[in-house]
Amino acid sequence: MKMKDDRRLINYYSSPLGAVTLESDGDVLTGLKFEERDGPPRPDESPEFPVFAQTKRWLEVYFSGEIPDFTPPLRIDSTPFCKRVCEILLTIPYGGTETYGAIAETIAKERGIPRMAAQAVGGAVHRNPISIIVPCHRVVGAGGALVGYGGGLGRKSALLEIEKKGTYAHRKALVRSYLGKRVHIGIDRPVGYVHKKEKYTLNYPINYGYITGIKGGDGEDLDVYLLGVSEPLDEADCRVIGIVHRKNDVEDKLVAAPDGAVFTKDEIAAAVDFQEKWYNTEIETADGE
């Protein structure tokens, strides 16, 4: 068994939000935090170990607005409770948030106790030794309030905004990647479906469904309008022929049709107008017309 290395090696990274201190034992990352002082980072005190290079690469990707597809090797040196909280932090998805109370409920259930104070979780989150990568900035107060971040609430807000923009761009690109492809959709609002809203009733003249597991701009399953089929369906295999881009909303919609069916932009716009008339939309088609 490999023994823990007690070396404390220091390196620095200059982020758009200020200088960041990196700590390692030479093999894994053991610390990452924003410097409390202002100004450029200090000269590196330790050699450029591979773990420092990997961490800096992760930070470069992250601060560019992309979603890192790797994680540098790391270790949480803390109490068992803090380690468990950090494990939960690592499950909060990029662009998402979780409350202190929800994390407390999760741990209470694991321990078989009636409840746990959110303040206890807050203390553990505050002691997280590896900021950003172990995303303590994604933990918010009740109602989404921005509270309790060691790097400052301004940085917490900035990190969440970076992820919001990165997630939105990623989902936009994902939606566009489906143009021209065959997909299987589940239909939860078939032809004739009546959706009663608070101020009006929406009648569906076409089948409307989703692609399970593929997230749209709103973080929910990606929605699909199905054209060219007049009878109500439960599911369908079809081809994506267009996208309804909502300029004043985060959620774009796919437009699909049976193989061989052709629709112009004007025909698509007319077919989806029953729901899209409240939005400023632009239609994009697979053939670019």
3-state secondary structure labels for all residues of 108-139: HHHHCCCCCCHHHHHHHHHCCCECCCCCHHHE
Taking the C-alpha atoms of residue 13 and residue 20, their distance in angstroms, rounded to an integer, is 5
Question: Chain centroid to CA 255: how far?
Answer: 24
Instruction: Kindly report the number of other CB atoms within 10 A of residue 68's CB atom.
Output: 15
Question: Chain centroid to CA 283: how far?
Answer: 25
Q: From start to end of 25-66, where are the E strands?
A: 29-34
Taking the C-alpha atoms of residue 94 and residue 58, their distance in angstroms, rounded to an integer, is 14
Active site residue 136: yes
Contacts 24+ apart (CB under 8 A), 41-47: 41/12, 41/13, 41/14, 42/12, 43/12, 44/10, 44/11, 44/12, 45/9, 45/10, 45/11, 46/9, 46/10, 46/11, 47/9
In order, the DSSP letters of 143-169 are: GG-----TT-HHHHHHHHHHHHHHHHH
Residues designated catalytic = 136
